[in-house]
Amino acid sequence: MTIHISDLSTKSVLAEQDICEDKAHKQTTRLINIARYIEENAEQTLTLATLAHQMNLSPSRFQRLFKQAIGVSPKVYQDAIRMDHFKQSLQQGSDISGAIYAAGYGSISRVYGEATRSMGMTPKAYRAGAEGEQISYATTITSLGPMAMAATKKGVCFVQFGDTQTVLIGQLKDEFPNANITESTAQDTPELNAWINALDQHISANAPRPDIPLDIRGTAFQMKVWQFLLSVRDGTVLSYSELAAAIDKPKAVRAVASACGKNRIGVLIPCHRVLRSDGGMGGYRWGLERKHALLGKEKSSTAPA
Catalytic residues: 271
CB 212 within 8 A of CB 198: yes
User: Count of residues for the chain?
Assistant: 305
Report how far residue 130's alpha carbon sits from residue 158's, in angstroms, rounded to the nearest whole number. Answer: 13
What count of other Cβ atoms lies within 10 Å of the Cβ of residue 118? 22
Q: Which residues contact 237 (CB under 8 A, 6 or more apart)?
A: 273, 274, 275, 295
CB 193 within 8 A of CB 176: no
Query: Which contacts of 192-198 are long-range, i.e. CB under 8 A and separated by 24 or more positions?
Result: 192/136, 192/137, 192/138, 192/149, 192/150, 192/151, 192/156, 193/138, 195/149, 195/151, 195/156, 196/138, 196/139, 196/140, 196/147, 196/149, 197/140
Helix 220-229 to helix 74-91 angle (10° resolution) is 130
Across 194-204, b (16+ Cβ under 10 Å) vs e yields ebbebbbebbe
CB 281 within 8 A of CB 288: yes
**Amino acid identity, residue 239?**
S
Q: Which residues contact 29 (CB under 8 A, 6 or more apart)?
A: none
